[in-house]
Amino acid sequence: MHPLLFSFGLLAIFDLARRVLAVRQITRGFGYFPGARMLISPISPLTRLLPRIPWILDGGGYTLNLHQHHDRYAGFLKYGWDGYTMVSAFPSPEGFIGLADAAAIKEVTTHRARFPKPVKLFKLMRAFGRNIVEAEGELWKRFRKSAAPAFSDRNNALVWDETVRTIQELGDTVWSNRSEITAENAVDITRAIALSVVGIAGFGRRISWTDEKVPQGHRMAFKDALHIVCADLILKAITPDWAMILTPRLRKLRLAFEEMKQYMSEMVVARRTADTKAERYDLLSSLIDEGDEPLSKSELDGNIFALLLAGHETIAHTTCFCLGFLALYPDEQERLYQQVKTVETALGRTPTYDDIHLLTYPLAVMYETLRLMPSAPVISKMSAEDTSLVVSNANGDKATLPVPKDTCILINIAALHYNTRYWDDPHDFKPARFLGDWPREAFMPFSQGPRGCIGRRFAETEGVAILTMLVSRYKIEVKDEPAFAAETPEERRARVLAFTTGVTMTPVRVPLTFKRR
């Protein structure tokens, strides 16, 4: 045998032995608790490319592919507990814990010091600078303090009013009061609505349906730049700078990033140098407030973008799925419509933000959609110390799960939302389950604890307003397409609600018809 080959062989054997010993040590650290043993890490980029393969990739592809949602609660049933362990050998030996136990999850999300956010997994969100989404510790506290004043009832009222105005403009101007309108993909509609709302309520920038002009000094319209950056954020993160000129798509993405930086800088400069300091309650005013610790240029850009992303993409995708569910379940749509008409009749006008408490069914539809299709199917935490968690099984038995220091904990929101210990008929679309008593600790599309979503009320207000306005004006149906005439109801639901993963769960194609009532 050639000496070089012999040397490589010895190195390979040594490396294999090292990995086997490391995997055994990690498994011992978990107290041999039931779980998956696999070759490839469940958070490796390869999970986007590979199917589930026993012993190769068997941990559910927790963060980077679709397995965690398609499997929902099945993985936990397989191992018998609402918590299980995952140990992988490549790219380096690592241990993970998956959780779908409400009590254990509450302990993790409540105790920030013991279970901080693993910021190394969120570098993707630093495309424009450090921000409230990816930061932890004192930096996160400073960002949250800067942003918090904007998330008030005054701003929520603005969100409601702008949503109503935007949908009225959609029907009266864009759709020209036509009796029937077909949308090849409803996300194009909800995305435009969400961008308009976050533009005015977040940054004092009104965006019309017909606003396609590229301002002087720019090469791309604001809404086009934002959409491209949001859609291809992951692509930008994994592509070296030198490669951003290799294809038309990459060149367009590079331009979009450059344009977004310019737009954000212009917004900040314009607000700071305005001759008249108007009283404003939007997010931008809150972020640029010169308090004790003003944000740096990079921090301003990072937080502006992070909150644009959260206030634009997540709401657009969630409300698109809402419309898809309502089209698939006409009885539920009728219940929503009847409540809206009852409220409008009693008020003698279109509801305002002050009336939102009366619109319980639109919120229930939004909650049920978020239960079935959470925007972020997984939330990750890190154990800062050697500790343990108590998890349960279907019989109510409890077991102690050791959690060694530096273990990544993957809170499986999709599995929690489909856990039969908390939800009856979890695969069914039943908005009414949110009208009475329901297991609040087993519902966390907005996360929970101190790191709970700062914009939750903003999102709920916009979602309720969109559903109220659209369903009061239009009956929504799945578009008739001859190619799918023979499909079963189950096949139709799977097609209409198909999704892919980006920064959030993203509808693939939701073809709908809107019929004027």
CATH number of the domain encompassing residue 293: 1.10.630.10
Position 460 in a domain: yes
Position 448 in a domain: no
- Say yes or no: 204 and 82 in one domain: no
Q: What string of DSSP letters covers 239-280?
A: S-GGGTTSSHHHHHHHHHHHHHHHHHHHHHHHHHT-SS----
- Say yes or no: 108 and 74 in one domain: yes
pTM of the model: 0.91
Question: Which range marks the domain in which residue 202 is found?
Answer: 150-376+455-516
Query: Residue 344, exposed/middle/buried by CB under 10 A (0-12, 13-18, 19+)?
Result: middle
- Say yes or no: 64 and 195 in one domain: no
Point out the residues of the chain with pLDDT beneath 70: 1-2, 6, 45-52, 57-71, 210-212, 274-282, 290-292
Round to whole Å and give the CA distance between 76 and 420.
11
Position 223 in a domain: yes
- Say yes or no: 310 and 263 in one domain: yes
- Say yes or no: 358 and 261 in one domain: yes
474-478 vs 512-516, strand pairing mode? antiparallel
Single-letter amino acid code for the residue at 288: I
- Strand, coil or helix: 309: helix
- pLDDT score of 67: 46
Residues 284-293, buried b or exposed e (16+ Cβ, 10 A)? bbbbbeeeee
- pLDDT score of 66: 43
Position 441 in a domain: no
Round to whole Å and give the CA distance between 413 and 69.
9
398-403 vs 505-507, strand pairing mode? unpaired
Round to whole Å and give the CA distance between 391 and 81.
7
- Say yes or no: 195 and 81 in one domain: no
